[in-house]
Structure 1
Amino acid sequence: MNFYPSTTIVNRLVEIEVERMLPTADEVTVRMNQEVSPVQVIARAKRNQGFTILNGSELLNVSAEDVPKYLAVEEGTTVRKGDPLLVRKGRFGRKQEVVAPFSGILIQVRRGYLLFERQPRLLELRAMVPGRVSNLNPTRGASIKTWGTQIQGVWGSGREGYGTIKVLTNSTKGVP
């Protein structure tokens, strides 16, 4: 069971240190004491998207031993979505193709199966606040110091965002 405190704490004009880290980063793009904007990318990482096994013998309707004869690319080749992986020429100039279901690398062909690694997805970590880099973790990201009003409460949408909170009324009776 989740606990959500009903208290909201507001601290006006305080120095805030925001830690922005990835589990692992391939590249940290900022340096110590650098000024950053909210939309500035401070770290990047490639995330593995997994593997897929294609049954080449079933897709071409040939024996597992014959699959290597129909390979259009070599093992270890990077291909884009839609590129032919297997091509079987038929009668009367017709051909049957098995195409890459997504971009990636053909890792190996064994017993009629094609092991295919999906192309990694690039993650970009943005600062999300204006400020100055106060601490640097060269393998994960950075901490950023900024000034603002700190509002502590519970709310979530499952996404990240930044912006200015506008006061719509000074009344305690609600928004008109």
Structure 2
Amino acid sequence: MDWMKKISTDKMLLGVVSLIVVGMSFIYLGKGKIGTEEITPTKSAITSVESPNTKIGVLEKELESKLQTNILMMEGVGKVQVSVNFLTGLKNEYVRNNNVTKRTNKETDKTGGTRETTEVTENNQVVMPSGSAQPVIAIEDRPEIGGVLVIAEGARDPKVREGIHTAVQTLLSIPSSRITVVPMGGA
């Protein structure tokens, strides 16, 4: 009878993990907009495919690697796999050459009336270094983290799971609701 409870618990846990993976897939697939200065990642939560060699893909991989390295050093964690999803893309603010020219004309007609006109010309060009096709970047904002999934062998222990959750929340300064820690399954 005790083994039936274990099988039932394992099946329920597998179901919960499956729902999380499917939910994360919908989140990933729903974020496919590409703007003029924003890149949004498109990666599947089900397969472990290498991210393309884009800036956003490289940032995701670096962050996943750093988190994994830190989590692996924690006691009782065991094997770990980390997935990070960005909610927004990289945001760049470019250096601009702002020139404003103001010209005022005063005209007097034959009857003694005067008319004054002001012409303002604004030139707001992005600064391009000589011989380069890339503009000069003034500020580069990191993308906002949409969610983190941590799969760890030791996550069956509530203390280890809570420790991982707290560590990720502290390292990334993101709300608790954006972090999921689940035990690693399989044989």
**Structure 2-normalised TM-score?**
0.28
Structure 1 or 2: larger strand share?
1
For normalisation by structure 1, the TM-score amounts to: 0.29
More helix by share: 2
* Relative contact order higher in (CA < 8 Å, ≥ 6 apart): 1
